[in-house]
A and B are shown apart, each in its own frame.
Chain A
């Protein structure tokens, strides 16, 4: 393997991993603040990918307008999702909330993916694929050439993670969310409104995830049924890194991304989807304390 290839793989792995980490961060926060696992989380990344493809490529809108529309729509969807699917679950007793949350979010994921695949095939393209082949000039660093696309992805991830961090530590709403994530009851007795936090976290989280979808497809395409698989990836990252741990999620994401890329290179792309599930189960077996830091539903 030449140094160039190795570097490409590493950069590819880190940028993919960065997206995984960002997506997992949003899920982790949602989980920590509401105790609800959103099975449809990955579906929102696919939604972002689909909307991006549609608004930025297929409609011929100027990209600034398309981007604005994308952000507005995704935030709206996030808000609606919280309102319709999450809010009713917040007040319930734990076991009813659990069953309900799985049914609702899993049902949503299925329905959304089915609708997306069906109607995209019908109205846009019989072979639904979401991709934004934007060519960016390669970047020369220390005499080695790096893909501009990958660097753009890395830049996005870097900025997004930074914004998340600032949100949690500097803004009032973010601080309340961080508080609830650390101790639900402790936060409640202080007067923190869990519903207000839930709205903020889901709206922002889904928006961030959807935008990750946009950057994901700069590098590789996605199909309408990749959502549940992506949720599984996010869960694996959380299992590796721990809930609510920002550095943990980053590390986990990057590890998975690298694993994904190297597996595809070494044994073939068909084996990539297998890696993370295997990693998931292996990590589960190796963590004797179970999942310390994850609160159970």
Chain B
């Protein structure tokens, strides 16, 4: 569904991402793991169109995305849950969800989508009138994912959803992500929490200082010696 070929991204003179190539097939959950500053967020942002690329191509469902503005990619079915949640602090949970639905081009079926989303995240249903800024970190993360889902995306990209959350919250979050996978949603997960991501993923890649250094199934990489030594703190 998604093919990224030789993607390069630069910040001025600084090359952040070098010739990155990977793919995500329909129904898969693919993870990209790496430490801080490896270029994971940059890659996702480039795929979504938030930052320009310096080389390579991004192909989504056979269509080249180069040059297409971010908001149009959302309409094509590409959704991103950005790093740091980015919920609207002065809007209620419900308003956040409504604007997400509206912005993605959804007409009608609002009620149905809201029901789906509240089913996945019951706590959002309880707090639907609460302002986004007053939610806890975990709740904000759920809201961020729920917002992205309002667009009924075909590919959901998640940028470090576990960042800054307590382990219990992360477990619950990953449960929900597992549920989404069971429902057939294709996902691209980018994480610093290597163990959780590899455990969850069908396939995964390792990103180090802007380059992909390893790839394989989640299980394979979990057993890999180098990865165990570098990323899985024993």
Interface set of A (CB-CB < 8 Å, partner B): 172, 175-176, 178-179, 182-183, 185-195
Contact = CB atoms under 8 A, between A and B. Distances in A.
Contact of A189 (B50, B69, B99): B50
Contacts, number: 68
A92 B99 CA distance: 26
A182 B132 CA distance: 11
A176 B105 CA distance: 13
A192 B49 CA distance: 13
Nearest to B105: A191
Do most interface residues of chain A lie in helix, strand or loop, or is the interface mixed? helix
Contacts of A195: 69
Contacts of A194: 71
17 contacts: A175-B99, A176-B103, A178-B91, A179-B88, A179-B91, A179-B103, A183-B89, A186-B82, A186-B87, A186-B88, A187-B88, A189-B74, A189-B79, A189-B81, A190-B74, A190-B104, A195-B69
Nearest to A188: B70
Contacts of B181: none
Interface in B140-168: 147-148, 151
A178 B132 CA distance: 14
Contacts of B70: 188-189, 191
Given A182-B88, A182-B91, A190-B147, A175 B74 contact: no
Contacts of B95: 175
B90 A191 contact: no
B100 interface: yes
B48 interface: yes
A226 to B, nearest CB: 34
A179 B99 contact: yes
B117 to A, nearest CB: 14
Given A190-B147, A191-B75, A185 B103 contact: no
Contacts of A183: 86-89
Contact of B50 (A172, A179, A185, A190): A185
Contacts of B88: 178-179, 182-183, 186-187
B69 A190 contact: no
A190 B90 contact: no
Contacts of A175: 95, 99, 102
B80 interface: yes
A69 to B, nearest CB: 35
Contacts of A188: 50, 70-71
Contacts of A190: 74, 99-100, 103-104, 147-148, 151
B1 to A, nearest CB: 19
B53 to A, nearest CB: 14
Contact of A191 (B85, B89, B91, B104): B104
Q: Top 9 nearest A-B pairs by Cβ distance?
A: A186-B86, A191-B74, A191-B103, A193-B71, A190-B103, A189-B80, A191-B104, A182-B88, A192-B103
Contact of B86 (A172, A176, A189, A193): A189
Nearest to A184: B86
Contacts of B147: 190
Nearest to B51: A93
A201 to B, nearest CB: 16
A174 to B, nearest CB: 11
- Choose among B48, B50, B81, B90 the residue with the greatest number of A CB atoms under 10 Å from its CB: B90
Given A179-B99, A182-B90, 14 more contacts: A175-B99, A175-B102, A176-B103, A183-B86, A185-B82, A185-B86, A187-B103, A188-B50, A189-B79, A190-B103, A190-B147, A191-B70, A191-B103, A195-B69
A192 B79 CA distance: 12
Contacts of A186: 82, 85-88
Contacts of A182: 88-91
Interface in B52-71: 69-71
Contacts of A172: 102
Contacts of B74: 189-191
A128 to B, nearest CB: 43
A189 B78 CA distance: 9
A293 to B, nearest CB: 11
A187 B87 CA distance: 9
B42 to A, nearest CB: 13
B153 to A, nearest CB: 10
Nearest to A186: B86
A188 B69 CA distance: 10
Nearest to B101: A190
Contacts of B82: 185-186, 189
A291 B95 CA distance: 27
A25 B50 CA distance: 28
Nearest to B132: A182
A162 B68 CA distance: 37
Nearest to B95: A175
